[in-house]
Amino acid sequence: MPLPHVFRALLVFLIGLIGLACTPARAELDETYEGLLVPNNFESAIPVTLQLHERSGQLTGTITTGAPFHVTAALSSGVNKYGQCNMRIPLTPSFSLRLYGSCQSALFEGRYTIYTTQSEDKPRGTFRLMRKEVKKEVDDDGLPRRSTNAPPTGSVTDCIKANTRCLLACPQGDYNVEFLCSNRCRRKYQACKAKFSTTPVPKASSGAMLPDSGLAPAR
């Protein structure tokens, strides 16, 4: 090999090493996601909770689905290639779910396909799963964490938060799908808010003393 070609090959090799050294290492996924599977045929969305664990690009974990399946199943296979995840989950002996799309620590979104042995039809759709924040049970000193500003259980605040999560899970880009999804979120929010009402302030009895008046109650 001529000497200039040797120098050129060496230069290319050194540039490649420098590029690898400057590329930041990608953190492996260890997250819990929540969101909706939105069918392309405008049927009801399927709520899911997905737990993902990554080791050397291989994915394991479980998924819990709402209607119509209502199951918790483990991944049978899964791989993460440069931020693109592809996984398969057997939901029942007759149905299996495939998820594939962009997977980051805060968001996993893409497309899904449901395979069935009972029909050639393969339901398809999109999904948008947001990371679920897991609250720490203990503080940095190992003591039980006390909630200071947590909203009361069963309040309109919980309805607002649930509505926000629902809207964030709606797919983007298709106006019709986005419109139907937002309508579902709004109906759920209205139903949730209707469960709670402002607690009526108890009326003072007729025999109670008037505050700071110095007067006795009327007889």
Can you point out the beta strands (E) in the chain? Answer: 30-39, 46-55, 58-65, 72-74, 77-81, 84-90, 95-103, 107-116, 124-131
pLDDT at 211: 47
Residue 115, token pair as written in the block? 């395979």
pLDDT at 147: 47
pLDDT at 71: 93
Per-residue pLDDT of the chain (219 residues; tens, 9 = 90+): 454 555 566 665 656 555 444 444 568 999 999 999 999 988 899 999 999 999 999 999 999 999 888 999 999 999 999 999 999 999 999 999 999 999 999 999 999 999 988 777 789 999 999 998 765 554 555 555 554 444 445 677 888 888 888 888 887 777 777 777 888 888 888 888 777 655 444 554 444 444 444 444 444
Q: How many residues does the chain have?
A: 219
pLDDT at 159: 82
Contacts with 51 (C-beta within 8 Å, 6 or more apart), sequence order? 31, 32, 33, 61, 62, 63
pLDDT at 26: 62
Q: By the 8 A CB rule, do 55 and 63 touch?
A: no
pLDDT at 88: 96
pLDDT at 10: 62
pTM over 0.75: no
Four-residue CA torsion sign, 199, 203, 205, 210: positive
